Every structure is written in structure tokens, then in C-alpha cells.
Chains A and B, each alone.
Chain A
Amino acid sequence: MTTAATPFRWREPSILPGFGLALGTTLTALSLIVLIPLAALFIKAASAGPADIWAVATSPRTIAALRLSFMGALIAALVNAVFGLILAWVLVRYEFPGRRLIDAAVDLPFALPTAVAGISLAAIYAPNGIVGSLFAPFGIKIAYTPLGVMVALIFIGLPFVVRTVQPVLEELQSDVEEAAALLGASRARTIFRVVLPQVAPALLTGFVLAFARAVGEYGSVIFIAGNVPMVSEIAPLLIVIRLEQFDYAGAAVVATMMLIISFALILSVNLIQAHARRRLGDV
């Protein structure tokens, strides 16, 4: 079929109509809404000149904000990986009252506007809030500290791990676990050596999605963060502040740094996934 004689073709022939119209609409909208504006961002950042870019990129405030956004997102995604896995396991494997309701409720962070989440999290994790007041006597402040940032990032990343792991757990064949048990493996060994390795790719995917979402999160964080420069100021907030100071180039440089770091991380995880898939067959 595909020999050297086959001429180069952009697309396979089809009798269905509308390819040009559909692809044209898509590409036009994509270019106008997403690609050209993002290109403008990179051009703006580059136009600042090497010296200014370096100054913005290495300013302690930029580094602190980026570190908080990325480290906060990393920790929140790790927390979500652990609890999301447990939650997915419980929802798939156990029968208990309210299971269906909880299953539905997991998607709340997808549906609840981030500003609403932000003010309500701030209210309950503040020192006089229902949860915050439990920690206040021990001198632990949650809201208005980096801890508050984590809380918000955990909230918005919560569904990602559950929703990527859940279908994989549902499709696991029970005979593999039975085989392990018959071979003499303890339940713990069966879970850690047999079940979890099969879930690992999905878990990693969910982790990356939660992480990517958390890095850029703004709405739910700023209400609970306290927004103290160098301490609890996230990178998106720093962009907004630079913008309000009409420092467009500064905002563009911070934004570009965020995008480049995120894309590099996502790309490297995708490469790891692709490698694992090749070895294990389609997992």
C-alpha cells in the first residue's frame, strides 16, 4: 500500500464532505483565540531584551512566586495522588451507603467556580473558621499562609487523579489478584506488587493533570493565600500585579517562564508514559 511510489498526501481520500470547512473553522478559531495571542506573549517577553528578561527572571520575588506555584502544585498533586488513589479504590471496590453520592461529589471542583471555592475555603480554614479553629490552638495557621495555598490547590486538583484512576481500576481483571493470592502473596504484596503497578500509568497521568491545573490556578488561591510577597504570593498573582503596574514586559516574562517550565514537565512525563506503554502493551 504505502510504497515509495505513493505520492505525499495531506489526507486520506474520503467521500465525506466538509473537511475543508471544518478544518478551516477549527484552525481559524484556534489561531485567533489561542495561538496568535500566545505568540504575542512570547514576542512581548522576547522584546524585553536579554538584560531585562534576566533581571525579571532572577529577581527574588519572581523566583519566590514561581517556587511557591510549582512546589505548591507539586505537593498538592502528591497529596491528591495518595488520597485520590484511595478514593478511587474505595469507590470502585467497596459498597457502602452514600457511595454514589460521593462518586458524583468528586467532580465538584470542576463545577464550582474558583472564586466561590476561594472564599469558602478561606472562611473555613481561617483561624476563626470551622477547620482553622481546630489548628489555631496549636499555633498552626492555614489560611493566609503557604499552607492555605496548598489547601486551595488540593481542592482544585482533587478530581483529576480519581477520574483517571477509577476507570483503570474498574477494568482490572480480578483473576490477576486471585492468581497472586493463590501463589501465596499477602494482600499487601498483591496490592503493591501486582495491582498498583498496573494503575501506575493512570496515576501518573492524573498527577500531571492535577499538577498542571494547580500551577496556573489563581481564583481559588488568592482569597486564602494572604498574598504576602516572597511568602504566599503565587506566580499568577505576580503576573496580575505586574500588569496593574503597567509592566507588560515583566508580566510577559513571568508568564513565559511559567509556560515553558510547565510544558517541559508535561512533555517529559508524556515521554515516560509512552516508553512504559511500549513495554507493557496498551495499558
Chain B
Amino acid sequence: MSVAVTIETIEKRFENFPALRGVSLDIQPGELVALLGPSGSGKTTLLRLIAGLEQADRGRVLFGETDTHDLSLRERRIGFVFQHYALFKTMNVAENIAFGLRSRPHRARPGESEIRKRVSDLLELVQLQGLEKRYPSQLSGGQRQRVALARALAIEPRVLLLDEPFGALDARVRKDLRGWLRELHGRTGHTTVFVTHDQEEALELADRVAILNDGKIEQVGSADDVYDHPATPFVCEFLGEANKLPVKVVGSLAFFGDRPVLGGITQNQGGLASLYVRPQHLRIVDETPLALPGTVEHLRRNGPLRRAEVAVEGLKKRLDVDLASQVAPAIGERVRLRITHGNLFAAA
């Protein structure tokens, strides 16, 4: 079995709203995949389709070689962690975690002592020993999240699905849990898919990131792939920041107006194009043949970096330029910008 989950050309419509428009994705066993996209992009719908909480209008979801269409939710054996955890508030932590085991048909149900052992192992795994008797209302957000995870893991799921796993937590707890989840995945090796709208979270955690937009997958790849080699303008703009320049490609040169700004272009599609340049790929230089003249209009601090906003003639939006370790220019100073790296997309 080389593929854990295969998603084949899924289409899904809600009334008149197409949520998914032909989505295909293979997920390898043990992989940690992020579904990343803005709200309304269809990422949660895709997750719910894998879980079986929604039925596709067209296309299939396969677990290994098995078509899931006729599997009941129980037969799917999906571990699902809901955005708001969906803990059973009338049950304590131990009862929550044991719920899946106790829901098994009689002959497949482990004995009570076995269940107790499993619960205590899982509590240890999620570092919540001693809280068995607490009720969900008596736990912090981060603790609830870990109970939800333990509960999902208790049924020994084929696939672990997490819907915005850190969405409901405050920023500090998020950071802690992120590292912890990564480590937990390394230890348990569950095939895991999680949905997020936070690119930092996706890039940091996932083996591969699938970026969704408007019901379609724009690109699938490792964090480095999608960040450094975005396949579409959407990916380029969605991941990190990018300045957009309208250019014209002639031969191996891209021209902004009549000025050549980038050379060495190998993709030989001439004509109008959009050039996306990240702020760290613009450098203030003294003299170079391929350069963009502009005026520094504003300086600000962006975390550890300083950033200049440079107005360029013929461009409405000022360009963001990161000043790594350079001497900062003064406001009003004329500068020349060199593009060290850019992504070129044919104009739509």
C-alpha cells in the first residue's frame, strides 16, 4: 500500500455555491499534510469529505485501494479533531477518551481494564495525567484540545484529521502546541491532514502543503517548494508578501516600461507578464544595468527587519523592500533597486 488516501477529482456543491471544483490529492502513509487556504476556499469541506461527514457530488475518496463511498463512519475509522473540539461536556476526560472504544460492537469491544489502560496511556501521551475526572468545562483551551486529540487517537484511526487545530487558542499556546504536535506526529506516525488558514503554521508543521483557492488546489508541495517556487500568482501572493510588477518579456529579459529589470529568463514565453518579487529579493544597489529607480517614501520596522517603501514611477503601489543589513537610506533619497529573484507569470 503506497498511498494512504487518494482523492480523485472531487466536486461538491452547496446549493448554488461550488465548494470544491475537481480536487485531486494523494496522501502518503505517515505523512503530515496541511490544507491551506483563505476562508471559503473549500479546505474544511475537503476535510469533511475525507471524514465522510459530507458526500461528494462527483469523484471518489479511496483509503488504500478501498472506495469509501459505502463505508459507514465507524468503518472509516477516522480520528477527527474539531475546531472547537466537540468534547462531550456531560462526560469527564476519561469517559470522553474511552467513548470510541466503548462504542465498538460488543465482540470488538476491549474489556474495561483494557480500556482503562488505553485511556491512561493516551493521557500520558498528551501529557494530561491526573485530569481523568475533570469535566471539559474545568479545562483550559489547550487541555481541551489535547483531550480531543487523545479521544481521536483512541480508536487507532487510519487517518487523523484536524480542523483548524489551533484556531481557537491564543497566540502563545498555539506556538507551544505546534511544536508538541509535530513531535507527537513524529512519535506516532499517523497519517495526518490538517486544515489551517495560517500559512506560518502550515509551512512550519507540514511535510507537504496543499494550497486551496476557490474550490481548487493551486499547488501541492513541500514548504520550500511552495514558498520558493509558487506555481500560481495566488500562491505567490498568499504565501508571504510579494510586490507585483507588470512586465513585458522579450527574449531572456523582462522589461518594466522600457527598462530591463530582470534577466536570465529561461521560460521563453514572450509578451506581457506579472513579475512577483518578495521584499527580501529587492536590494538597494549603487549601479547595475538591470535596475529599477525609485524614491524612498517611508521607512518602518517589521519585527527584526527594517523595511523601506519605495515609489517607482509608473507603479501605483509602493514597493516593499527589506533592508537586511544595509545602511538605511534616508526618506526622499533616490535609490536603485535590483531584483535578485522573482516569479514570472503570464498576464491573465
Residue positions of A touching B, CB distance < 8 A: 173, 175-176, 178-186, 189, 193-194, 197-198, 200, 279-281, 283
- Nearest A-chain residue to B157, judged by Cβ: A182
CA distance A185 to B82 in the complex (A): 17
* Contact pattern, B 79-123, Cβ under 8 Å of A = 1, otherwise 0: 110111011111100000001100110000000000000000000
User: CB within 8 A of B103: which of A178, A189, A279?
Assistant: A189
Given that A280-B137, A281-B135 are known contacts, is A184 also in contact with B100, CB under 8 Å in the complex?
yes
Complex contacts, B173 vs chain A, CB 8 Å: none
**CB-defined A-B contacts under 8 Å, sample of 29:** A173-B84, A173-B86, A175-B86, A176-B88, A178-B53, A178-B80, A179-B80, A179-B82, A179-B86, A179-B151, A180-B88, A180-B99, A181-B73, A182-B53, A182-B80, A183-B99, A183-B151, A184-B104, A185-B99, A185-B100, A185-B103, A189-B103, A194-B88, A197-B88, A198-B89, A279-B135, A279-B137, A280-B137, A281-B137
CA distance A182 to B160 in the complex (A): 11
- Nearest B-chain residue to A183, judged by Cβ: B100
Given that A189-B103, A281-B137 are known contacts, is A182 also in contact with B51, CB under 8 Å in the complex?
yes
Q: Is the CB of B155 within 8 A of A183?
A: yes
- A182-B52, A185-B74 known; 19 new pairs, CB 8 Å cut-off, are A175-B82, A175-B84, A176-B87, A179-B151, A180-B88, A180-B103, A181-B73, A183-B100, A183-B152, A184-B74, A184-B77, A185-B99, A189-B103, A194-B88, A197-B90, A200-B90, A281-B89, A281-B138, A283-B89
List residues of B (48-83) whose CB comes within 8 Å of A's CBs: 51-53, 73-74, 76-80, 82-83
Complex contacts, B136 vs chain A, CB 8 Å: 281
Complex contacts, A194 vs chain B, CB 8 Å: 88, 90
Complex contacts, A279 vs chain B, CB 8 Å: 135, 137
Given that A183-B103, A189-B103 are known contacts, is A280 also in contact with B135, CB under 8 Å in the complex?
yes
**Nearest 7 interchain pairs by C-beta:** A281-B137, A183-B100, A197-B90, A184-B74, A175-B86, A185-B103, A179-B86
List residues of B (116-167) whose CB comes within 8 Å of A's CBs: 135-138, 151-152, 154-155
**Total of A-B residue pairs, C-beta within 8 Å:** 74
CA distance A57 to B166 in the complex (A): 64
| Least distance between B50 CB and chain A CB atoms (Å) | 11
- Nearest B-chain residue to A278, judged by Cβ: B137
Complex contacts, A283 vs chain B, CB 8 Å: 89
List residues of B (24-67) whose CB comes within 8 Å of A's CBs: 51-53
CA distance A181 to B152 in the complex (A): 12
Complex contacts, B90 vs chain A, CB 8 Å: 194, 197-198, 200, 280
Complex contacts, B51 vs chain A, CB 8 Å: 182
Given that A198-B89, A280-B90, A280-B137 are known contacts, is A184 also in contact with B73, CB under 8 Å in the complex?
yes
Q: Is the CB of A280 within 8 A of B89?
A: yes
Q: Is the CB of B73 within 8 A of A182?
A: yes
Range for the number of chain B residues in contact with chain A: 20 to 34
CA distance A194 to B84 in the complex (A): 16
- Nearest B-chain residue to A283, judged by Cβ: B89
Complex contacts, B99 vs chain A, CB 8 Å: 180, 183, 185, 193
CA distance A200 to B89 in the complex (A): 12
Complex contacts, A182 vs chain B, CB 8 Å: 51-53, 73, 76, 78-80
CA distance A193 to B99 in the complex (A): 10
CA distance A173 to B99 in the complex (A): 18
Q: A175, A176, A179: which has the most chain B beta carbons within 10 Å?
A: A179
Q: Is the CB of A178 within 8 A of B86?
A: yes
CA distance A178 to B54 in the complex (A): 11
- Nearest A-chain residue to B136, judged by Cβ: A281
Complex contacts, B83 vs chain A, CB 8 Å: 175
| Least distance between B129 CB and chain A CB atoms (Å) | 22
- Nearest A-chain residue to B104, judged by Cβ: A184
| Least distance between A150 CB and chain B CB atoms (Å) | 32
Complex contacts, A186 vs chain B, CB 8 Å: 74, 103
Q: B78, B83, B86: which has the most chain A beta carbons within 10 Å?
A: B86
Complex contacts, B82 vs chain A, CB 8 Å: 175, 178-179
CA distance A35 to B96 in the complex (A): 49
Q: B77, B79, B103, B104: which has the most chain A beta carbons within 10 Å?
A: B103
| Least distance between A281 CB and chain B CB atoms (Å) | 3
- Nearest A-chain residue to B48, judged by Cβ: A178
- Nearest B-chain residue to A177, judged by Cβ: B86
- Nearest B-chain residue to A277, judged by Cβ: B137
- Nearest B-chain residue to A198, judged by Cβ: B90
Complex contacts, B88 vs chain A, CB 8 Å: 176, 179-180, 193-194, 197
Complex contacts, A183 vs chain B, CB 8 Å: 99-100, 103, 151-152, 154-155
CA distance A184 to B74 in the complex (A): 4
Q: Is the CB of A184 within 8 A of B103?
A: yes
| Least distance between B119 CB and chain A CB atoms (Å) | 14
CA distance A281 to B79 in the complex (A): 26
CA distance A186 to B73 in the complex (A): 9
CA distance A37 to B23 in the complex (A): 74
CA distance A184 to B73 in the complex (A): 7
Complex contacts, A175 vs chain B, CB 8 Å: 82-84, 86
Complex contacts, A176 vs chain B, CB 8 Å: 86-88
Complex contacts, A180 vs chain B, CB 8 Å: 88, 99, 103
- Nearest A-chain residue to B52, judged by Cβ: A182
- Nearest A-chain residue to B80, judged by Cβ: A182
CA distance A278 to B154 in the complex (A): 28
CA distance A197 to B51 in the complex (A): 26
| Least distance between A201 CB and chain B CB atoms (Å) | 10
CA distance A180 to B53 in the complex (A): 12
Complex contacts, B91 vs chain A, CB 8 Å: 197
Complex contacts, B103 vs chain A, CB 8 Å: 180, 183-186, 189
